[in-house]
Amino acid sequence: MTSHITVRDDDYVIDQNWAGYTADEHAVWDFLYRRQRDILADRADPAMLQGLETLNLNRGGIPDFAVINEELKARTGFTVVAVPGLVPDEVFFTHLANRRFPAGQFIRNRNQLDYLQEPDIFHDVFGHVPLLSNPVFADYMEAYGKGGLRAMKFGRLKNLAALYWYTVEFGLIETPKGLRIYGAGISSSKDESIFALEDPSPNRLRFDLERVMRTAYRIDDFQQTYFVVRSYDELFRATVDTDFAPLYERLADGAAYPPDTLLNTDQVIARGTQAYAKAKAKA
């Protein structure tokens, strides 16, 4: 479903070619959509669920970016652009800095419904796009893109990537009804949506910028630690009001914490047993 696409230059943007999706591809979207909608009803941040509705991502079938973008652009100035898959860091940051979110054009096939390595349109659009309709979160994403271009100059992309990982992909947020999911890596995953909130294994710690940027993360399995923000405003202020230059100087010592570390300076919301990771390590 990708090879015939020819429109492409160095921004990696391709035509979504919405008319080219097959009935089965639309059916895969619908299956995943309904499954996650049910799991997330009382687990996702209401702002994310609101975004799904606001942007009409629930209308059935793979969303047409041209249609989503009308509403999204009016709300926050963001647009979604199609890309073939992962794009180089600089390309990714440049898109975000210009309020464009690059989303995978392809959808997973039926024998990979639960897990795939490359971000597809379900992860990118169901997971990431709803919160782009939230003004504060949108501002954060743009700032992150600009911050990424800056981090490249400092050679500290690894630390900045950890910030993205533990917020945009695997972040939790405190709400009056308890912890909720906002990270797209969680919200687009059937099993991690439950694990992140309900399993006793992972640590759940209050978000702290430098702590997060020093923490290693797992790309092959559920996280061993989740960081919790009080609000997107807190996240925005903590990152945008901090000049990362002195921080990058400190981080240059290279000290990194393994993904399950607990420090005595951590504000612990729930101390994890790490039973899940320990059992996996033995197996």
Query: Binds 259, which of Fe ion, ligand PHE, none (CB < 5 to 8 A, cut-off by type)?
Result: none
Q: For residues 2 and 86, is the Cβ–Cβ distance under 8 A?
A: no
Of the candidates 16, 223, 239, 274, which one interacts with ligand PHE according to CB under 6 A? Answer: 239
Tell me the closest approach of the beta carbon of residue 231 to ligand PHE, in angstroms: 15
Residue 58 binds: one of ligand PHE, Fe ion, none (C-beta under 5 to 8 A by kind):
none
**SS3 state of residue 14:** strand
Dihedral angle computed from the Cα positions of residues 162, 166, 169 and 170, in that order, rounded to the nearest 10 degrees? 150
Q: Which residue has the tokens 């990152």?
A: 239
CA distance 279 to 281: 5
**What is the rounded CA–CA span in Å between residue 67 and residue 55?**
9
CA distance 232 to 18: 32
Query: Given candidates 51, 147, 202, 272, which one binds ligand PHE under the rule CB under 6 A?
Result: 147
The residue among 15 and 208 lying less far from ligand PHE, judged by its C-beta, is 208
Q: Are strands 268-270 and 203-206 parallel, antiparallel or unpaired?
A: antiparallel
Q: How far is the CB of 184 from Fe ion (least distance, A)?
A: 5
Helices 135-154, 244-251: inter-axial angle, 10-degree rounding: 50
Q: Interface with ligand PHE by CB under 6 A: which range of 78-86, 97-105, 142-150, 270-278? A: 142-150
Tokens linked to 76: 């926050």
> Whole-number minimum distance, CB 28 to Fe ion, in Å?
18
Binding partner selected for residue 144 from ligand PHE, Fe ion, none, CB under the kind-specific 5 to 8 Å limit:
ligand PHE
Nearest residue (beta carbon) to ligand PHE:
147
Smallest separation (angstroms) from ligand PHE to the CB of 141: 9
Interacting residue ranges for Fe ion, rule: CB under 5 A: 119, 184
